[in-house]
Amino acid sequence: MHTTHSIRSAYLEFFKKQNHVVVPSALLFPENDPTTLFTGSGMQPMIQYLLGSAHPLGTRIADSQKSFRAQDIEEVGDNRHTTFFEMLGNWSFGDYFKAEQIQWMFSFLTDELGLDPRRLYFTCYSGNESLGIPRDTQAAGLWQAQLKAKGIDAPIAEDAETKGMQGARIFYYGDKKNWWSRAGVPSNMPVGEPGGPDTEMFWDFGEQLQLHENSQWSAEPCHVNCDCGRFVEIGNNVFMAYRKTESGFELLPKPNVDFGGGLERLAAAVNDNPDVFTIDLFTGLRQKIEQLTNTVYGQHSEQTKAYRIVCDHLRAATFLIGDGVIPSNTDRGYVVRRLLRRAVRYADMLGVPQGVFADLAQSIITTYAEAYPNLSEKRESITEEIAREEKKFRETLQKGMKEFEKLATQNISGRDAFVLFSTYGFPLELTQELAAEKNLSVDAVEFAKEMEKHQDLSRTASAGKFKGGLADHSEKTTMLHTCTHLMLAALRKYLGNDVHQAGSNITEERTRFDFTYPKKVEPEIVRKVEEYVNEAISKKCTVSIEVMDKADAQAQGVEGSFWEKYPDKVNVYSAKAPDGTVYTRELCGGPHVTNTENIKGTFKIVKEEACSAGVRRVKGVLQ
């Protein structure tokens, strides 16, 4: 029987044999991606390569990407939702396509993992006639052929949402289910955006999981995309083949493949148990809670929900802190704080003794020690942060609960909810959960107004917000991004090596860049910085990327901030002139021009000002 760790290893080894280069997971928070605070899928760190940039390690890549989805916090408690998960991925950047991918995935599932092909089901894109995008009969036929080779008849059907299974094994679904683009369905895509059909793979946990006649789903036809719990999606192959144009959709000259498979869900399928919290990754933590509470997981529904929330939230917080996200009242840190405080509440329901969260985190770190050694390396700091956060919350929780009970005689105003937050450390979501248990409401709109008066806090962080990095991957933004790297190199040249990046915000109109420096930058230095950047532009420097060991990059003096947050392998960008002059050499994970001659205009710094103590801010444009 495969363990979850052996499934991960088997997957990566399988694709090594198909000439893929295995790369390490990126951090749980993305660089230069304005759309989210966290890395929520395996695709996110690869988006620039799917959009056309050349990957430095070639056209075939495989990985297991750590992922976190804050928007799923409220969903945790059932048998399949987690906020943290790993996404197995393999990528073809203009290399192989449908035939190879479908054959490989079927072989991996059935031959490598030993899953019974009679319990596998597949969905394909039904097409969009009005947009001129055909039905993906090729993918359907390829799955059919794989099943036939195993002696399995595989009828193809459509309208499963209304007609049910129909004795079929392959199903067509439309734009909402089997089309992928960053903008969603084809009609929502902006001009220039790529997208394509996808084909998904489902595991059948058995007819016994179709819910009984009193279920809310009892009147609905059961099919692979329904919510009864019988079928679980274990992987999705995206075939990015189209680009939207002013006149419609055109085929990409080199289509891409993007596979994403949930590691935990694959382990549940191998385990033939739809409850992902029974897989081995949770065994140590689950057993520790059982010992501490003298309870048994799975015996009572409310206890089971509490187990799942504590296990998920502690695991997610451990990984986030390990990647450098510290509990706080803003942005990513607020999410970690919310996870831990929600875990405290549900741990109390189970009877978990106070002050043991650090010990529980130790169990998580031990479980993942081989796969993610950075957790072991940061064991002390992770457990200290978790212990500190638990202690801090417990100091105010009892007082806060008393205050809540005073307020909970009627619906709770936003102002009172804010007092619970600012004085007693209650996240809005905790107040809402407690109020819902008493059939009361909370005025979230008024709460938001009170919050904005106090400071700019992330209230749910589900949707994320753009504070740093690149606003988009457009041509103008990319040009200014490269200019920003050149500008930092110039600032370090003229102001000294103590200058480092402290933040950035780059749009099509301008770059806003914060850097460490204790006093005003003299106008003469500003002029020299501009000249340095414009000289690099005029020299037609080649901009290249190199993947290096982090230790080697540091030893060679590559510029970078927050080194401790980077993985063992790092991307180093350089801008080198034909005469051999290197104008910048720096860590980065975002898009750049391939040659500085592609930067249109003259770089100009339009403002230099104080940002905070010891930090200056400049704004630059291309004129």
What's the confidence (pLDDT) of residue 463?
Answer: 37
Q: What is the pLDDT of residues 570-591, one digit of tens each?
A: 788 899 999 999 999 998 877 8
**In whole angstroms, what separates CA 64 from the centre of its chain?**
12
Close Cβ partners of 48 (under 8 Å, ≥ 6 residues apart): 473, 590, 591
HEC assignment per residue over 302-320? HHHHHHHHHHHHHHHHHHH
* Residue 471 confidence (pLDDT) above 70: no
Spatial separation of the C-alpha atoms in residues 259 and 238, rounded to whole Å: 6
Percent of the chain with pLDDT over 90: 64
Q: Which two tokens stand for residue 224?
A: 């692979």
Max Cα–Cα distance, the chain, nearest Å: 79
Region of poorest pLDDT, from 30-44, 73-87, 108-122: 30-44
Mean pLDDT of 389-418: 89
> Whats the size of the chain, residue-wise?
623
- pLDDT score, position 467: 42
pLDDT band at 466 (very low <50, low <70, confident <90, very high): very low
- pLDDT band at 199; cut points 50, 70, 90: very high
Instruction: Quote the distance between the C-alpha of residue 244 and its chain's center.
Output: 25
Retrieve residue 113's tokens: 């993992």
* Alpha-carbon gap, residue 403 to 418, rounded angstroms: 12
**pLDDT tens digits for range 149-196:** 999 999 999 999 999 999 999 999 999 999 998 788 999 898 888 899
Q: Report DSSP state, residue 598.
A: G
The pTM for the full model equals 0.75
Lowest mean pLDDT among 209-218, 476-485, 568-577, 608-617: 209-218
Query: What is the rounded CA–CA span in Å between residue 137 and residue 140?
Result: 5
Q: Please state the three-class secondary structure of 80-122 as a single string.
A: CCCCEEEEEEEEEECCCCHHHHHHHHHHHHHHHCCCCHHHEEE
pLDDT tens profile 490-523:
999 999 988 988 878 888 889 999 898 989 999 9
Looking up tokens 């094994």 gives: 169
